[in-house]
């Protein structure tokens, strides 16, 4: 069965610090990978997605993620965080041709102004 | 607003009562999903519809839960004889579907259920 692991449950950073959130998945075949963000009081929104091609994908608000197939990882990065990035971040996986999106437990990011 | 719409946004009910939630997906999205999210957890899959057909139900979905999508448009999720453990945020999502299409799920704002 597919599963997604996010090892950082809570992260606190100061503004302008660099961010990297880990995501590992367990699935032997081809997968689609996603990062979603949930700002306080808002719905889940897509940050970025990977289906195929360049393993370095860029999303909204300066976020990027790198797919490393050999490590089953899809880590999220941002060079310089802002206070407005305070939110909960979820990694998700979906196998092409299937329909379920499997989510990790999330990482709560707090950025101090 | 053309996003996924869920109603009500909040529901407080007494244990043992039945509740029903509604989800209106993005127009023309064939796929519709229900998820449940509790504090400190990511969304957990409950069930999936492709048009009006319910193609999968999670083992999380006990026989007190039922979901419908009668005309392939909006969907309802009913919980009968609610228990305190049912307290959670119930999320609906939709996505388009087509042969060979990879796509993401678009989420609604959820219905927060509190069972007292």
Whether the predicted pLDDT of B54 surpasses 80:
yes
CA distances from A46 to A43, A59, A80, A84 (A): 10, 9, 19, 16
Most A CBs within 10 Å, among B32, B43, B69, B93, to test the A interface = B43
Q: For chain B, what percent of residues have pLDDT higher than 90?
A: 78
Cβ distance A99 to B40 less than 8 Å, yes or no, reads no
Which DSSP string do the residues of B46-98 spell out, in sequence order? EEEEETTEEEEE-TTS-TTEEEE-TTSS-EEEEE-S--GGG-EEEEEEEE---
Contacts of B55 in chain A (CB under 8 A): 99
Burial call B92-112: b when 16+ CB within 10 Å, e when fewer: bbbbeeeeeeeebbbbbbbbb
**pLDDT tens readout for residues A38-90:** 999 899 999 999 998 999 999 999 999 999 999 999 999 999 999 999 999 99
Q: A86: which 2 tokens?
A: 């305070």
Whether the predicted pLDDT of B36 surpasses 90:
yes
What is the reported pLDDT for B104? 87
Contacts of A34 in chain B (CB under 8 A): 104
């Amino acid at each position: 069965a597919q599963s997604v692991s996010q090892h950082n449950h809570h992260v606190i950073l100061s503004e302008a610090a660099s961010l990297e959130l880990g995501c590992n998945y367990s699935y032997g075949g081809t997968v689609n990978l996603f990062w979603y963000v949930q700002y306080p009081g808002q719905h889940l929104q897509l940050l970025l997605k990977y289906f195929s091609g360049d393993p370095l994908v860029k999303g909204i608000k300066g976020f990027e993620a790198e797919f490393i197939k050999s490590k089953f990882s899809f880590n999220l990065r941002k060079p310089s965080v802002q206070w407005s990035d305070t939110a909960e971040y979820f990694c998700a996986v979906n196998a092409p041709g299937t329909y379920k999106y499997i989510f990790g437990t999330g990482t709560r990011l707090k950025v101090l102004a | 607003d053309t996003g996924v719409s869920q109603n009500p946004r909040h529901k407080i009910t007494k244990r043992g009562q039945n509740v029903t939630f509604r989800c209106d997906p993005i127009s023309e999205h064939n796929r519709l999903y229900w998820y449940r999210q509790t504090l400190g957890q990511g969304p957990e899959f409950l069930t999936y519809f492709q048009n009006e057909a319910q193609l999968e139900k999670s083992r999380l979905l006990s026989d007190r839960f039922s979901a419908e999508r009668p005309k392939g448009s909006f969907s309802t999720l009913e919980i009968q004889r609610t228990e305190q453990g049912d307290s959670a945020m119930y999320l609906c999502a939709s996505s388009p579907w087509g042969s060979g299409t990879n796509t993401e799920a678009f989420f609604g704002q959820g219905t927060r259920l509190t069972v007292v």
